[in-house]
Structure 1
Amino acid sequence: MEEDLISKKELLDLTGISYGQLYRWKRKQLIPENWFIRKSTFTGQETFFPKERMLGRIQHILSKKDDLSLDELAGKLSDMTWVQKQLLTLEEVRERNIVSSITLERYGQRDRNEHKYSFDQLLHLVAVDLLLGKGELSLEEADLLHHTLNVNRPQFQGKRWELFFARKMGVGFFLQALAPSELVFDEGVRLISRITLDDLTEQLQGKLG
């Protein structure tokens, strides 16, 4: 089961960036070399990218390119330790627009004035908010997702993982597995979404940066 990809043409159309910008950012190592994936299509060889990570990275670059030089931005993107050490209060999460107000109100901690959100807790909120924002799950399913991520947290601490959301006969369920994962479902299962830890970290990094 492959990660969702987006073609170069679709990417340029969707983001409004130019071909020249894309490859300049590549030369500056703002976009990793291994994100440029060559595949054979009926029109010949085309370039594809990991969709969620690429869109998150471009959003981050565009939001910071007026404040930082490309070299400074590349240095910051290559160092992920600062993201993993972040501790934010409820007010800071709200001010930085990490997730929607609906997600924060529903899944925020009760001891709002004292609690600080860790990297993992922020990732869980981002995962729920991402799928809710796409309209891919109900609030009840979002409750289950948030609970599942919290319960599984010790098992996946410090490891790369992927999250799968699927439906069978209208019933939604989640699978969390170490990455990279190769899962095969039966014909009655419809995969709704696949999210990697890298996707979520990319989005969170963009909002924290």
Structure 2
Amino acid sequence: MEEDLISKKDLLELTGISYGQLYRWKRKDLIPEQWFIRRSTFTGQETFFPRQLILSRINQILNMKDGLSLDALSDMLSPSPSEKALYKEEIISRGVATQVSLNLMVEQLGDAEVYAFDKILYVYLLEKLLQSGDMSLDEGRTLLQVLNDHYKKLDGKNCELMLIRKMGISTFLLFSSPTDLFMEAGAKVVSRMHLGNCIQELKMKLI
């Protein structure tokens, strides 16, 4: 599954931003270094970006830059975890997850009075996939275990979560992005989530 790319020239024309803005945002870590992909073309070396990720990020920056400094934007858009922690009751009251998702996380990963950001993220992802109807409760248990076992290995990196199903058998993939993925014939991508975007959504809920 090859990532859909957009050239730098087309990106600047489509979004109306300047070369200077693009690289200033890069220096401020608003746009990750790994999204700048160098590829050989018939005219020489050109820079490309993962289309969906870069267009979504630029839209976020343009919508938020008038209300926040570039440093505050960098923190908000960073895939790095927040220092924020929540009491169990706050997870529900702030709309992060429902009681069903929270109970499932407690069952799978253990109870706690206060949850750190990584666990808040796990239950938020669980809630999103359950609410979408893409995932069963049993698959939710597997999801929580995969996140608990492997997420911190990618902590602070841009990564994606993918749910694949073939003949009723489901598999979760957690990988740093952008990357090309290839899978066996007949396997269906049920859901693909950019965790950086989910972390941003969650940070907004915790403000």
Q: Output the TM-score relative to the length of structure 1.
A: 0.63
Q: Does 154-163 or 170-179 show the bigger shift?
A: 154-163
Question: Which of 67, 72, 82 is equivalent to 1:71?
Answer: 67
Unaligned 5+ segments in structure 2 are 5-14, 17-24, 33-50
Q: Output the TM-score relative to the length of structure 2.
A: 0.63
Structure 2 partner of 1:199: 197
Moved over 6 A (4+): none
Deviation string for 1:151-183 (max 9, x for gaps)? 113422333321110111121111111222211
Shift of 1:70: 4.0
Percent identical: 30
Shift of 1:104: 1.2
Shift of 1:50: 4.7
Alignment check: 8 A CA contact 1:83 1:208 kept? no
Alignment check: 8 A CA contact 1:166 1:190 kept? yes
Structure 2 partner of 1:93: 91
Which secondary structure state, in structure 1, belongs to the residue aligned with residue 95 of structure 2?
coil
Question: Which of 128, 131, 136 is equivalent to 2:129?
Answer: 131
Structure 2 partner of 1:37: none
Which secondary structure state, in structure 1, belongs to the residue aligned with residue 67 of structure 2?
helix
Alignment check: 8 A CA contact 2:3 2:180 kept? no
Shift of 1:206: 2.1
**Number of residues of Structure 1 aligned to a counterpart in Structure 2:** 166
Which secondary structure state, in structure 1, belongs to the residue aligned with residue 171 of structure 2?
strand
Whether 1:173 aligns to 2:157 is: no
The residue identity in structure 2 corresponding to 1:95 is S
1:151-166 to structure 2, matched below 5 A, reads: 151-166=149-164
**Could you tell me how far apart the structure 2 residues matched to 1:76 and 1:95 are?**
25
TM-align CA RMSD: 3.7
